[in-house]
Amino acid sequence: MGVLLSKLQYTSAAGQVAQGQITKNWVPIKEEPVYTPRRIRLICVGAGFSGLTLAHKIKHEIKLGEVIDYVIYEKNHDVGGTWLQNRYPGVACDVPAHAYTFLFEPNPNWSQFYAPGSEIQEYIKNTVRKWNLDDRIEFNSCVVESRWDEAAGKWKVKINQNGIIKEDEAEILVSASGCLAKPRVPNIQGMSDFKGKLSHTADWDDTYDWKNKRVAVIGNGASGIQTVTAMHSTSSKLVNYVRNPCWISPNFSGELTKDGNNFAFTEEEKRQFREDRKAFFEFRKRLENSVNGFCYAMLRDHPFNRETRVTSTKRMQNVIENIPDPSIAARMIPEFHPGCRRLTPGHGYLEAFTNPNTHMCWEPIERITETGIKTTDGKENTFDIIVCATGFETTYIPQWTLVGRNNTTLTEKWKTEPEAFFAVHVDGLPNYFMIMGPNFVVAHGSLLAGISFTCDYILKWARKIATEDIKSIDVKKDALDDYNVWAQEYLKRTAWSDPCRSWYKNGKTSGQITAPYAGTTSHFKRCLENMGGEHFNINYNSLNRFRFLGNGQVDVERNGMGDLAEYFVEGLW
Ligand SMILES: Cc1cc2nc3c(=O)[nH]c(=O)nc-3n(C[C@H](O)[C@H](O)[C@H](O)COP(=O)(O)OP(=O)(O)OC[C@H]3O[C@@H](n4cnc5c(N)ncnc54)[C@H](O)[C@@H]3O)c2cc1C
Ligand SMILES: NC(=O)c1ccc[n+]([C@@H]2O[C@H](COP(=O)([O-])OP(=O)(O)OC[C@H]3O[C@@H](n4cnc5c(N)ncnc54)[C@H](OP(=O)(O)O)[C@@H]3O)[C@@H](O)[C@H]2O)c1
C-alpha cells in the first residue's frame, strides 16, 4: 500500500487518472461533439444603431439565433436612440449619408448628400421593419441595475417597465446605451426662474412653435451650430451665447459634392444607385475612403490637418468680413488645431451673423432671469425660448447601477477618467461588453463601421463562451493599463491633445483623451480581429478547461455514421 501511494505521488495527474484515480481537475466525458454550444442568454441595453446592428448580426449576418437567446431593453418608446431624441431645428448628419448607413443596408434612396435627422430616423425604422429587428426589443424598459453573480456566472438585471420592476438574467450583458445619450443641462444660476420655454437640443418639444420668437442658443458645438443656422432667419431675434472659438470647416467630403455644398440626389441618380450595384458600391467605397481621411486630418503634423486649417481659415475669413460685429472676427478663429473640438462644417452658421437680428455674445452668462439671460457685464436680454445646445454627459458611466466582480463599479473606477480595453472591456466586469465605449472611433470617419466591427468582436466572444464551456471572461488589469498607456502616448500627436475644451477630453481643456480611438478605423478592425486570449482572465464551468472537447468527435461525424472526412473538400485537395 505504501509503495502504491508513493508511486502515485510522483505520477502526473494524467497518470493518476490513467490508473483510475480522480484528480482535482478530473471531469467526466461530456457526451457530445467538440464545440457543441450551450444556449446562452444575452441582454443588450439600447436600440440605437449599436443595439440594432447587434440584433441584425445575431439574427441574419452571423446567424447565432440557435446559440444566443437575446433581448434588447430600450428605455424609449421607439428605436433610433440619437436620431429619435435629437429633433432640434436643423438636426442633420454632417457626414455624407451614404457613409452613415448600417453596413448591411446601403440606402440608394437618400434624398440628399447630407441627410436630415428625420430621414435618418425613418431609415432606421425602415431597416428595422425590413429585417424584423424589433421582435426581441422591449420598449419603455429602462435598465436600472445589473449585478454580476459570480456563483451563477450571470448578470442579474432589473428593468423598470412603466413603474414595475422586471428581473432578468443573462450570461452576457452588452451596453449599447450610447455615449451621447444623456443631455447635459448647464448648471447656470436661475435656470428654474425662467418663465419662457427652456429646451435642450436633445429633448426638443415638437409642439412648440418657435417661429417669430426671441431665441437664445447656448453653445457652439455641432448641435448649437445647426440650431442657429436653422432658427435665425425665422426668429425675431437670436443670440448665440458662446465661450470658445471653433473651426467652421468646409463640408466633409465636399470634394465629392457638386459644388462643395449639400445637394439633392435626382431620381435618375437614385435609380442608378438601385440598379447598378457595382457603380453604387464604388461610389460608397470612395465616400468611405474620403470620410476615413478624417482620422489623418486629426494628426497635428499631417498635410490634411494643415490643409483643413488653410481652407477653414480662408472660408471663415471670407464670411466674417461681411459680419458687422467685430467681436466675431477678433475671437472666432481658433489657435488650436482643427479637430481639437469636434470639427464642424456648419455651412450657413457664420453667414447667420450677417443677419441684423442675429448676434453672438461672448460675455459670460451670470444668471438666467425670469425673462431672459443676464451676462456679467450687467446687460440683460429677454427671450421667449432658451435652447441649451450644451451637449451631453460624457463620463461613459452608464445611467444605471452596474456592479461587477468584488463590487467593482465604474462610478468608482472611472471617477477621474474612463479607461477601457479597445472601447469594449473593463477589468472586474466579467462578460460585460460595450459598443462605443471610451476611446472609440467617434471622430475618424465611418462610425457605423466601427459599431459593426465591435458587434462582430463581441459575438466572437459570445460564440467562444458558448462553445468552450466558459463561465466568464474579463480583461486583465495589466493588459488594460498597458493598452491605455500606449493609446495616450499615440494620442499626443493628435489635434485632440491641444488645449481646448471638448467632450473628446470628457469636457476638459487638457489631460487624458477619453473619447476617440488611438488609430484609424481599419486599425481598430484589425486589432479586434486579431485579439489574443492572453489578455483575458478566463473561468470555466467545470474544473477542467477542456471538458468541451467532449466525446472526441466533431458534429458532422455522427458517431461514425456521418461525414468522417469533413476536411476533404472538393476543389481544395
Ligand atoms: C445630434 C447628434 C448628431 C450626430 N451626428 C452624427 C453623424 O453625423 N455622424 C456620426 O458618425 N455620428 C453622429 N453622432 C453620433 C451618434 O451618437 C452615433 O453615430 C450613433 O447614433 C450612436 O448609436 P448608439 O446606438 O451607439 O447610441 P444611441 O443612438 O445613443 O442609442 C443608445 C440607446 O440606449 C438607450 N438607453 C440608454 N440607457 C438605457 C437604459 N438604462 N435602459 C434602456 N435603454 C437605455 C437610449 O434610450 C438609446 O436609445 C451624432 C450624435 C448626436 C447627438
Ligand atoms: N454630425 C452632426 O451633424 C452632429 C450634430 C450634433 C452633434 N453631433 C455629435 O454630438 C457631439 C456633441 O455636440 P453638442 O454640440 O451637442 O455638444 P458639445 O460639442 O459638447 O458642445 C456643447 C456646447 O455648449 C457649451 N456649454 C456647455 N455648458 C455651458 C454653459 N454652462 N454655459 C455656456 N456654454 C456652455 C460648450 O461651450 P464650451 O465649448 O466653451 O465648453 C459648447 O459650445 C458632437 O461633437 C458630435 O460628435 C454631431
Closest ligand to the CA of 376: 2
The residue nearest atom 23 of ligand 1, judged by CA position, is 49
pLDDT per residue over 302-340, tens digit each?
Answer: 999 999 999 999 999 999 999 999 989 999 999 999 999
Domains in the chain, ordered, with CATH?
Answer: 40-180+406-540 (3.50.50.60), 183-249+302-336+338-391 (3.50.50.60)
Probe target for ligand 2 pocket from 199, 243, 253, with the most ligand atoms within 8 Å of CB = 243
**C-alpha distances out from residue 105 to 39, 45, 108, 247, Å:** 28, 22, 9, 33
* pLDDT tens, residue by residue, 42-84: 999 999 999 999 999 999 999 999 999 999 999 999 999 999 9
Nearest Cα to 190, choosing from 384, 370, 379, 386?
370
Average pLDDT across the chain, whole number: 96
Task: Report how far residue 325's alpha carbon sits from residue 354's, in angstroms, rounded to the nearest whole number.
Answer: 9
- List of E strands, 319-382: 358-361, 365-368, 372-375, 380-382
| Ligand 1 atom nearest residue 91's Cα | 1
In angstroms, the CA 536 to CA 542 distance is 18
Q: How confident is the model at residue 446 (pLDDT cuts 50, 70, 90)?
A: confident
Is the pLDDT confidence value at 4 over 60?
Answer: no
Residue 54 CA to ligand 1 centre (angstroms): 14
Q: Is 445 in the pocket of ligand 2 (CB under 6 A)?
A: no
- C-alpha cell of 230? 436653422
Q: Mind listing the pLDDT tens digit for each residue in 85-116? A: 999 999 999 999 999 999 999 999 999 999 99
Phi, psi of 483 (to 5 degrees): -60, -45
**Do residues 309 and 337 lie in contact, with contact meaning Cβ atoms separated by under 8 Å?**
yes
Residue 126 to residue 427: CA distance in whole angstroms = 38
Alpha-carbon gap, residue 373 to 92, rounded angstroms = 28
Cβ of residue 96 lying under 6 Å from some atom of ligand 2: no
**Residue type (1 letter), 121:** Q
State the pLDDT at residue 6: 57
Tens of pLDDT, residue by residue over 163-187, are 999 999 999 999 999 999 999 999 9
Q: Is the CB of 82 under 6 A from ligand 2?
A: no
Q: Classify strands 40-45 and 372-375 as parallel, antiparallel or unpaired.
A: unpaired
Lookup result for grid cell 428593468: 159
Q: Which ligand is nearest to the CA of 86?
A: 1
Measured in whole angstroms, how far is the alpha carbon of residue 396 from the centre of its chain?
10
How far is the CA of 350 from the CAs of 324, 363, 391, in angstroms? 12, 18, 20
Write down the pLDDT at residue 2: 47
Distance CA 529, CA 545 (A): 23
pLDDT tens per residue, range 360-404: 999 999 999 999 999 999 999 999 999 999 999 999 999 999 999
Q: Are 156 and 432 in contact (CB under 8 A)?
A: no
Rounded to whole angstroms, the Cα distance separating 72 from 202 reads 22
546-562 tens-digit pLDDT: 999 999 999 999 999 99
Residue 256 predicted with pLDDT over 70: yes
Among 254-258, 435-439, 549-553, which is the least confidently predicted range? Answer: 254-258
Q: What phi and psi, each to the nearest 5 degrees, are found at residue 238? A: -135, 130
Closest CA to 360 of 352, 369, 372, 368: 352
In 10 A of CB 234, how many CB atoms?
A: 13
Name which of 99, 101, 109 is nearest 269 in CA terms. 109
**What pLDDT is stored for residue 3 in this prediction?**
47
Q: How far is CA 481 from CA 295, 405, 426, 428, 489, in A?
A: 24, 18, 10, 13, 12
Is residue 191 lining ligand 2, measured as CB closer than 6 Å?
no
Q: From the CB of 54, is ligand 1 less than 6 Å away?
A: no
| 12 secondary structure, DSSP code | -
Contact 376, 363 (CB under 8 A): yes
